[in-house]
Amino acid sequence: MVSVVQGLMSRLLSPLWRRAQELDERPEDPCFDGAAQIRQVWTGVVTHLCADYGLIDHSVYFTSGVVLGGVVLCVGDSVQALAVREGAHGQWRALRVERHKDAWESGGSEALALDTDKLRPLIGTVTSCDRDGGYINQTTYFPRSALCEGFEPVKGDWVLAQYFVCPSEWSSQARAVSPLRYRRMDGVSHHQLSLIGVVEDSVFFSLDSLIVPPGFRPARGDVVNVVVVESSQSLYSWRALCMTPIQHSGNASELNMPDDEVQRLLENKGGLQVSRENQFGCLLLGNRKELQIWIQNSGSERQRLKCCEFAGWDSAQQFCLRSVSVKNSTPAGGPVDEDSVQMLEMKPGERASVTVCCQMSCEICAVMVSSLVFDRLARRHLPNFLGNYGVPQALRDCVEGQKDVLIAQPALAEPLSLSWMLPRFSALLWLEELQAEREIREFSLTGAILRKGAVYLHLEVPGLAEGRPSLFIGDKVLLKKPCSGGTVIEYISYVMEISDEDVSLRVNADFQKNYLGEPLDVEFSFNRLTMRRCHCALEQSKHFGDNILFPSMLLLQPPQWSGEWREEDRHLQEEENKATQKTDGSSTLTAEMVSVATQTKPDLTMTAKRIPNPGQFFNAQLNPAQKEAVKRILSGECRPTPYVLFGPPGTGKTITLIEAILQVHHRIPCSRVLVCTPSNSAADLVCMRLHQSGFLHTASLARVNATCRPEESMPEELRQYARAGEDIRHASFHRIVVSTCSSAGMFYQIGLRVGHFTHVFVDEAGQATEPESLIPLSLLSETSGQIVLAGDPKQLGPVVKSKLAAVFGLGVSLLERLMGMPLYSCSERGYNPLLVMKLVYNYRSHEALLELPSRLFYAGELCVRSQRTVVDALCHWNRLPTKGFPFMFHGVRGTEMREGNNPSWFNPAEAVQVMMYCCQLAKRLYNPIAATDIGVIAPYKKQVEKIRVLLHRVGLGEVKVGSVEEFQGQEFLIIIMSTVRSNESLLNEELQSMLGFLSDPKRFNVAITRAKALLIVIGNPHVLIKDPCFSALLQYSHDNRAFLGCDPPVSLQASPRFEAVSSRS
């Protein structure tokens, strides 16, 4: 052990010893007088700490600048330091300080070897390179030996590297470097200038680094095949590695002819002289321009104009002959046909004119007739700034005056179409915003006294823990201070911290200093950020065609991946996935994408499991419908028309999405996937599943969060991905990015090109409003991007506060609207497999719990594939009315109540009954159920609060209690539902209105499909019988002898169908 430590010390201090010797030989250096001493402090402790300096062991002085890594030290921290003393009586001064690590003393050279062997993934750009190597992100060095075979990086290339940290040198070095993304494509070469050029409008190439076949030199107009890598080159996002010709342009200057011969071809001949004014110049989109070309017959013979031909892309639609005439004759009006051209004859001395019209299409910006050079118009760009999109005053006045909104916004009366989409949804968003403003104003506080803290003012907001009001970090809060004379001074504050019902506010420094506890009026404001992002996305969506938002027909595209799918032995594949993949320092390129000059494919394996071969599934347990959906998504033949993954409850929708994302990531090397969900909880679930898959290294995935979301609210496993998402620009270059739909709006103003993301997956798409779904979709290319919408239109839709906005369609998600179109509808032969895959195998619930929702919402197609040991766990519970049938309705004719002005209802009798069932399940002597396996659903916040209090009193605080919305996407072994409403005195019409959101079929569907093994519904059957869904549930329980409690309604009658079900049970 001693020899190991001595060896380590000698390696670390040898450079400093040499430095000390050099200093001894130079006594004139004022820093050292020749008597300098060097000391290594191995186990020092920080004893004093000031602003930017401190002491180690009361004797060694150090500054913050010498602390390695910029680590902020605290008093008591164990550190190691290298110190120097100037003279025998001088003070020890630290040259380098590092926070102590346990591994340092555990084995010197072993620790160094471990750090060196531990490879870590890195995504970044090449910031410099030469013939020996280069640097990634200016910090990580890579030698030439680390490069993939055939990859010659240049500055700006985005790369994926494996690097290690060398503790002895405090540096990092890459062991393997490969392109982050690459692809093979065909395109037209243009814009060539000297040694550089552009293919299409996104690929940059330089002849200095371009590999081409012998004798080929790219020229303008050439159709070429290129292998490109992602690279930031000014306005271009790809760089060509190699290029091969497909078709020469045919231009004279590109025929490899001698210059004198080319000039001879361009000369006037036969006595004919053609004018040289033949440039159209630059035309804007939609504009047109006419150009007159003169032909002079200076010879002695008659000449006949045989034809006029145009070259270029889409020449038939861009150019036309407006007139062909001889001087002193009347030109023909309108387009000229070829027969008219052939009839034109010019006598000697005569002069003819040919008028050419250029109509500007969406692709062409400039045309030069002489050399046939076409400059493309720049494609759609994302906005540099986020607009305000304020509510029009006319609409505000109309809503506040309770007038007809169609007067201010007549677009609401128009049927939804591509042309009316922007004005219609803009009006709906403004209506929603006005309602949100009105609701948040109701929570204003009068005479509130703030507590003064060292940095912030602290405000107690009753009801904040329940989301009343809903506040987020960064929200603006207005503080009003009444003064004498009726004047009011307003102070603007911002929410900085939220803890239960306590809010920390940042205010003006002078106000913070002078505030003495006087009462203030508090007004909360609505955060408009998400609304503004929706408006911005709507403006971008006007560039979309009907094939994305209003598809009526499907145009198939070439598949993105066309390999063969192989069904291999499932057990063999599972065994292989258990083996860990060892990291090899060398990196080579495979032959999947071969060009004449090079081949490019990264082979950086930093995952915990072996990557399956192409054509194999990462999850071998997928059912046939799930596998077919993955194949369709990977092929992408329907792009850009959205593909819908219809996932009823418990059918493995998220698992299918994870498989599809992994397949796209590993099989399409040019892909970049954006995964969005309406909520953070759903986004965290997707990110967690990707992390747990074991087929991704950490540098592949980034979790982008809103700036107001605290890190503590995220699972520990996801925080590494969240840190990768803090720098939005850098996060956008990860191959897989996960965020909410709203947070995807942060990618708009960071200079990304349209099409930066190739695939967008929207999970739980049925819960997002259509404008919210458009935020991530508008980042895609409208011609080649692929959209996957996953969700269930039969479950909860978007949360819309404005009744007016809901009536006019804001509550209908993009997923639900598409599923209502003929192209996505279910015909006699089922859904179109190219566009929709409906998953029908349920892996969650007992068949008794699945029968009713399957019949009511899914045409009876759901099939049970759940684990029998789980779903049968409570089939013989002694409280069940029918053994083997784990469902029961408990009738309670209780009393619904409200407290004061609180609009939320509660029912004490039902709350007590819920508590009793929880105790009977979780506190039984034999095989008690864990409290975390029980979920309680109540539609009203006050009932949720009452049930929580009761459960805490009996020691069952871990039972989850919440609204239906909180249970969307979750599952529990046992679900107990309290319906609350119990007023039987109202008329039928009033009763239907009183049921409120109890009568929402989607909410009903979610509530009864969360349970795996037992569902208990508690409510007043005489009230619930008025609702069609609850009426069917009551009939189902009655037919299967699963009804108990109060007397059942007289209208309940046995159903023959369910009698059969009951007898089979």
* Lowest model confidence (mean pLDDT) among 44-48, 526-530, 668-672, 676-680: 44-48
742 shares a domain with 626 = yes
What percent of the chain is predicted at pLDDT more than 70? 78
DSSP state of 436: H
DSSP 392-408: PHHHHHHHHTT--HHHH
The more confident residue out of 521 and 484 is: 521
Phi, psi of 406 (to 5 degrees): -65, -20
Q: Quick one: pLDDT at residue 325?
A: 67
3 state DSSP class of 211: strand
Handedness of CA 236, 238, 243, 244 (dihedral sign): negative
pLDDT digit string, tens, across residues 330-360:
444 455 554 554 456 777 777 777 777 776 5
The answer to the question of residue 887 being in a domain is: yes
pLDDT 10s digits, 789-828: 999 999 988 989 999 999 999 999 999 999 999 999 988 8
pLDDT reported for residue 319: 66
Who has greater pLDDT, 209 or 600? Answer: 209
Residues 693, 732, single domain; the answer is yes
Which residue segment(s) compose the domain that 130 sits in?
Answer: 118-179
End-to-end CA distance of the chain: 72
Per residue in 900-921, pLDDT tens? 777 788 899 999 999 999 999 9
**How would DSSP label each residue in 113-154?**
HHHHH--EEEEEEEEEE-SSEEEETTTEEEEGGGBPTT----
Check pLDDT > 50 for residue 156. Answer: yes
Please choose, from the candidates 530, 538, 544, the residue with its C-alpha nearest in 3D space to the C-alpha of residue 411: 538
| 1065 has pLDDT over 70 | no
Calpha distance 620→142 (Å, rounded): 38
**Entry field: residues in the chain:** 1065
Encode 84-98: b = buried (16+ Cβ within 10 Å), e = exposed: bbbeeeeebebebbb
Provide the CATH number for the domain around residue 131: 2.40.50.140
Query: If you ran DSSP here, which 8-state letter would residue 619 be given?
Result: S
Same domain, 510 and 613: no
Chain centroid to CA 673: how far? 8
Indicate if the pLDDT at residue 90 is higher than 50.
Answer: yes
Output 140 or 573, whichever has higher pLDDT.
140
Q: Are 255 and 241 in contact (CB under 8 A)?
A: no
Pick 986 or 620 by higher pLDDT.
620
Q: Write down the residue that tokens 């992408």 correspond to.
A: 636
Residue matched to tokens 């104003």: 441
Q: Which of 128, 157, 179 is a domain's end point?
A: 179
CATH of the domain at 718: 3.40.50.300
Residue 387 placed within a domain: no
Q: What is the mean pLDDT of residues 30-38?
A: 52
**Given pLDDT bands bounded at 50, 70 and 90, which one contains residue 157?**
very high
Backbone angles phi, psi at 277, to 5 degrees: -80, 85
Is 194 found in the same domain as 163?
Answer: no
pLDDT at res. 94:
86
In the predicted model, what is the mean pLDDT of the chain? 80
Question: Would residue 421 count as lying in a domain?
Answer: no
Q: Do 851 and 766 belong together in one domain? A: no
Any idea what the CATH number is for the domain that residue 490 is in?
Answer: 2.40.10
Digit-coded pLDDT (tens) for 135-155: 998 889 999 888 988 888 999
Residues contacting residue 720 through CB under 8 Å, at least 6 positions apart: 698
Q: Note the pLDDT tens digit of each residue in 262-297.
A: 456 556 676 777 765 555 555 554 567 777 777 777
The answer to whether 727 and 638 are in contact (CB under 8 A) is no
CA distance 777 to 760: 7
**CA angle 335–341–344, rounded 5-degree value:** 130
The answer as to whether 390 is a domain residue is: no
Residues 208 and 146 in one domain: no
Check whether 758 has a pLDDT greater than 50: yes
Q: Are residues 95 and 26 in the same domain?
A: yes
Residue 159 domain-assigned (yes or no): yes
The whole-number average pLDDT for the span 948-957 is 93
Q: What is the pLDDT of residues 979-993, one digit of tens each?
A: 998 887 765 555 555
- According to the model, what pLDDT value does residue 388 have? 92
3-state SS record for 689-735: HHHHHCCCCHHHEEECCCCCCCHHHCCHHHHHHHHHCCCHHHHCCCC
What pLDDT is attached to residue 217?
A: 84
Q: Distance between CA atoms of 36 and 596, rounded to whole angstroms?
A: 64
Q: Buried b vs exposed e over 12-25: b needs ≥16 C-beta within 10 Å?
A: beeeeeeebeebee
The answer to whether residue 418 is domain-embedded is no
Residue 496, SS3? strand
pLDDT attached to residue 233: 86
Residue 552 lies in a domain: no
- What span, in angstroms and rounded, lies between the C-alpha atoms of 893 and 815? 39
Q: Which 3 state secondary structure label does DSSP give 488?
A: strand
Looking at per-residue pLDDT, the higher value among 592 and 1015 belongs to 1015
- Residues 97 and 74: beta-carbon distance below 8 Å: no
Instruction: Report whether pLDDT(9) > 60.
Output: no
What are the C-alpha distances in Å from 974 to residues 184, 756, 846, 918, 943? 53, 45, 11, 10, 19
User: What pLDDT is recorded for position 373?
Assistant: 33
For residues 760 and 787, give the distance between their C-alpha atoms in angstroms, rounded to a whole number.
Answer: 5
User: What is the mean predicted confidence (pLDDT) over 494-505?
Assistant: 86
Helix 1028-1039 and helix 1056-1064, axial crossing angle in degrees, nearest 10: 50
From 272, 285, 275, select the one nearest 355 (Cα to Cα).
275
- Structurally, the chain folds into a number of domains equal to 7
If asked whether residues 1051 and 943 sit together in one domain, one would say yes
- 43 is a domain residue: yes
3-state secondary structure of 684: helix
Residue 108: its pLDDT value, please? 42
SS (H, E, C) 230-266: EEEECCEEEEEEEEEEEECCCCHHHCCCCHHHHHHHH
User: Are the C-beta atoms of 458 and 438 separated by less than 8 Å?
Assistant: no
Cβ–Cβ < 8 Å for 255, 262: yes
Domain boundary at 130, 157, 179, which? 179
Asked whether the beta carbons of 31 and 86 are under 8 A apart, the reply is yes
Q: Based on the fold, state whether residues 897 and 1040 are members of the same structural domain.
A: yes
| Final residue of a structural domain among 518, 543, 565 | 518
At 902, the amino acid letter reads N
Q: Are residues 126 and 223 in the same domain?
A: no
Percent of the chain exceeding pLDDT 90 equals 36
- Give the amino acid at 794: K
* DSSP helix/strand/coil, 1045: strand
Residue 228: closest CA among 183, 173, 174: 183
- Strands 171-179 and 140-143: what pairing? parallel
242: nearest Cα among 706, 624, 600, 722: 600
Do 235 and 283 fall within a single domain? no
Average pLDDT on 529-533 reads 93
Over 80: is that where the pLDDT of 742 sits?
yes
pLDDT at position 1053 = 59
Do both 687 and 835 map to the same domain?
A: yes
